[in-house]
Amino acid sequence: MEKLEKLITTIMKECEQDGEPVTYEEAKEMAEVELKAKKNCKNFVQGDIRERAKPKRERKVDPDKVAIMSAIEKALFDECELISGNEQAIEIKYNEQFYTIKLIFNRNKNKAKSQ
């Protein structure tokens, strides 16, 4: 009730300063409407911005890719200089030019649709 009474007096003072004096009943009605509006209004405040710890995912190494890439490396060993490589891609230098060979596993499209 104290909030309502304080709000009524402030509304009456503000209206009087604006040159439109209101009665106590009118100010009370305006105050009740304002308090109801404040109850229904949700206040969203942004909290502390902290960087979330990203979950560490262990990289899965495909043994089939490793076998294929090692076979490619052995085949190119005499012709090219190996710069870097893993089971996904190898970088080579051939005739002073740099190349990347990538190995991508494509899933069977028919099996993917049925699952």
pLDDT at 84: 78
pLDDT at 60: 84
pLDDT at 113: 60
Query: CA-to-CA distance for 43 and 45, rounded, in angstroms?
Result: 6
Asked whether the beta carbons of 22 and 12 are under 8 A apart, the reply is yes
One pLDDT digit (tens) per residue for the chain, 115 residues: 678 888 888 888 888 888 888 888 888 888 888 888 777 777 677 777 777 788 888 888 888 888 888 888 888 877 888 787 777 888 888 888 998 989 888 888 776 565 5
Which among 90, 96, 92 has a CA at the least distance from the CA of 70?
A: 90
Assign 33 to helix, strand or coil: helix
Which among 85, 82, 80, 81 has a CA at the least distance from the CA of 68?
A: 85
